[in-house]
A and B are shown apart, each in its own frame.
Chain A
């Protein structure tokens, strides 16, 4: 098991290293650089100042050298400064990451908690009325543009009914406790939940149907066990397996969803920070933010593997390692 973990960890690190270079190069391909923007927004800066500042920030070096400088500094714990905030990158990023994890965590939990019963209910009686309506809901859920959903929710709850805030983060410094912030979380969480909920329900239904077709479930039926016991006791456990994989793999989609949701609702999370930093050419922040997002996905996959083994004792870590 330890060998397996070590191998997975190594693999993850390699992917991360490759990604860091790819992202570094891509960001280097973005037009202009922060100094150009500074010059453009400030009439008093001369191009001579620009050349001077570029040298000061090492922006005049070739890309390979710049990457190497960045990497050695990063491994030494120095991820650089955010240009838009003038603060160390991590100081800005970490609180935002916390906010995003709160948002994603609540949304995924709700999505899973609702998707499982929905999907299973649909699978137990395929092509029934229940199944068909759940199926329709799922198709609708995966087809609605997330930002459109957000707009609809804002129109309904914030503009027409006026019962929920259209965006923001709640009182300054978390005053008023959790409840004061809760109402600001409702719409973003709802937006984020619906898309994943639909996808998860479809997978839950599919894997449950697959499980119900297995011989031992049929045997259980034949033995005269109650439907509920068959479903809960046998099929469900087996249906959970593929679902875990899907949820973990879906982390990338969730991060993308968080970006849209956070932007729409002015929620101060990492997705919005990432978007803003890319638009503002905040080189360091965008780079580290993208790496964090990638890391988040990789960790999700990693956890899925472990959960996989934990749910199904038949799958050993050894066999996974050879996968």
Chain B
């Protein structure tokens, strides 16, 4: 029992996991779909050259074209290929979703581990902070954060003025408000694990706190982290799209699903399809991440009911 708990990657456990996961058909399908979307997005440049097109190529004499053999989903208000722009937008949305979710998970895990392991005042302080962050109205705060002048916080002008800064900024600000769920989960899991015999034994043998947290506790709290992180990716993609939609996220010419939708809004009576495509992509991706998270939860934590 102890062995198994210490090494959840054990073969039997893994087989059990796969068996349970496969039962959740929607999750399996979602995983496949996400893999497909990610592959398409990653291969965007290859697909681009295979199609003989250029995603940034403006053609004012071919605006709002309907789908045909060359432009599979037609063209936008500048005559650019919508399909390719969707792929490039997908790169950004997925990148932001994954990086910010992982960054938030790392932050949350660290905070949760410390709070749960050391307890006492540190725990009280960290958890009050967590409660405080949870109580914040997230979106207005993100808007303020997105508007912060990087040069005023000491970021060198060369970095603050680079083209990709909006990308890093949005990952960062989403991560610093998104860590709370994982922190709470990890803390409660840590609390229950730290009284177990193998942790006690390690402590008795004089292992340092770092080592105990890394070697003995972390592997045992990994499942809730994975589930929470997967579920959060969807939420983050939504948040990124909202911010880009409000003009505060990813800046043109870099396409993201959010700013493509934002652009399309004013053209809604003329070319509603330009709003539908990116909207559907966001929807499909987010729902797939939610199903995937749901499936992982069922597979990793069979006692918890499907929620």
**In the complex, is A directly touching B at CB under 8 Å?**
yes
Number of A interface residues at 8 Å Cβ cutoff, please give it. Answer: 52
- Contact (Cβ within 8 A) A145 B153: no
CA distance A260 to B234 in the complex (A): 18
Least Cβ distance of B250 to chain A in Å?
14
Say if the beta carbon of B275 comes within 8 Å of chain A. yes
Residues of B within 8 Å of A297, CB to CB, are 135-137
Chain A 294-307 against B: per-residue CB contact (8 Å), 1 yes, 0 no? Answer: 10111001000000
Least Cβ distance of A31 to chain B in Å?
4
Least Cβ distance of A292 to chain B in Å?
9
- Contact (Cβ within 8 A) B149 A29: yes
Knowing A152-B279, A209-B305, A278-B143 touch, does A294 contact B137 (C-beta < 8 A)? yes
- Contact (Cβ within 8 A) B245 A147: yes
Say if the beta carbon of A103 comes within 8 Å of chain B. no
Residues of A within 8 Å of B134, CB to CB, are 249, 252
Residues of B within 8 Å of A289, CB to CB, are 140
A145: which of B145, B242, B272 is its contact (CB, 8 Å)? B242
Interface centre among B153, B261, B287 (most CB of A within 10 A): B287
- Contact (Cβ within 8 A) B136 A252: yes
B138: which of A23, A256, A274 is its contact (CB, 8 Å)? A256
Say if the beta carbon of A253 comes within 8 Å of chain B. yes
CA distance A319 to B156 in the complex (A): 51
CA distance A271 to B147 in the complex (A): 17
Say if the beta carbon of A320 comes within 8 Å of chain B. no
Chain A 52-94 against B: per-residue CB contact (8 Å), 1 yes, 0 no? Answer: 0000000000000000000000000000000000000000000
Say if the beta carbon of B39 comes within 8 Å of chain A. no
Say if the beta carbon of A40 comes within 8 Å of chain B. no
CB nearest to B282 among chain A residues: A145
CA distance A41 to B234 in the complex (A): 41
- List residues of A (74-125) whose CB comes within 8 Å of B's CBs: none
Say if the beta carbon of B139 comes within 8 Å of chain A. yes
CA distance A147 to B241 in the complex (A): 9
The segment out of A136-144, A173-181, A223-231, A309-317 that lies at the interface is A136-144
Residues of B within 8 Å of A296, CB to CB, are 137
Knowing A145-B282, A159-B269, A278-B144 touch, does A252 contact B149 (C-beta < 8 A)? no
Say if the beta carbon of A263 comes within 8 Å of chain B. yes
Chain B 260-286 against A: per-residue CB contact (8 Å), 1 yes, 0 no? Answer: 010001001100100100010011001
Knowing A148-B261, A151-B261, A278-B143 touch, does A298 contact B287 (C-beta < 8 A)? no
B268: which of A154, A205, A255, A293 is its contact (CB, 8 Å)? A154
Residues of B within 8 Å of A301, CB to CB, are 135
CB nearest to B147 among chain A residues: A30
Residues of A within 8 Å of B135, CB to CB, are 15, 252, 294, 297-298, 301
CA distance A177 to B152 in the complex (A): 50
Say if the beta carbon of B206 comes within 8 Å of chain A. no
CB nearest to A297 among chain B residues: B135
- Contact (Cβ within 8 A) A290 B272: no
Residues of A within 8 Å of B307, CB to CB, are 202, 205-206
Knowing A275-B140, A286-B144, A297-B137 touch, does A31 contact B268 (C-beta < 8 A)? no
Q: Is the interface of B mostly helix, strand, loop or mixed?
A: helix
- Contact (Cβ within 8 A) A29 B148: yes
Chain B 60-86 against A: per-residue CB contact (8 Å), 1 yes, 0 no? Answer: 000000000000000000000000000
CA distance A297 to B147 in the complex (A): 23
Say if the beta carbon of B238 comes within 8 Å of chain A. yes
- Contact (Cβ within 8 A) A31 B147: yes
CA distance A139 to B140 in the complex (A): 25
Say if the beta carbon of A37 comes within 8 Å of chain B. no
- Contact (Cβ within 8 A) B137 A255: yes
CA distance A252 to B138 in the complex (A): 7
Knowing A152-B279, A252-B136 touch, does A290 contact B238 (C-beta < 8 A)? no
- Contact (Cβ within 8 A) B137 A23: no
Residues of A within 8 Å of B153, CB to CB, are 29
Say if the beta carbon of B35 comes within 8 Å of chain A. no
- Contact (Cβ within 8 A) B242 A260: yes
B139: which of A142, A255, A286 is its contact (CB, 8 Å)? A255
- Contact (Cβ within 8 A) A30 B149: yes
- Contact (Cβ within 8 A) B143 A275: yes
- Contact (Cβ within 8 A) A159 B268: yes
- Contact (Cβ within 8 A) A148 B138: no
Knowing A144-B283, A252-B134 touch, does A31 contact B149 (C-beta < 8 A)? yes
Say if the beta carbon of B230 comes within 8 Å of chain A. no
Least Cβ distance of B227 to chain A in Å?
14
- Contact (Cβ within 8 A) A145 B241: yes
18 residue pairs of the A-B complex, CB under 8 angstroms, read A19-B132, A29-B148, A31-B149, A140-B287, A143-B287, A144-B283, A147-B241, A147-B245, A148-B275, A148-B282, A206-B307, A249-B134, A256-B137, A263-B246, A275-B143, A279-B147, A290-B137, A290-B144
Interface residue ranges, B against A (CB under 8 Å): 132, 134-141, 143-145, 147-149, 151-153, 234, 238, 241-242, 245-246, 258, 261, 265, 268-269, 272, 275, 279, 282-283, 286-287, 290-291, 294, 305-307
Contacts A19-B132, A147-B261, A278-B144 aside, 10 further interface pairs with beta carbons under 8 A come to: A143-B286, A147-B245, A151-B265, A206-B305, A252-B134, A259-B140, A290-B144, A294-B137, A297-B135, A297-B136
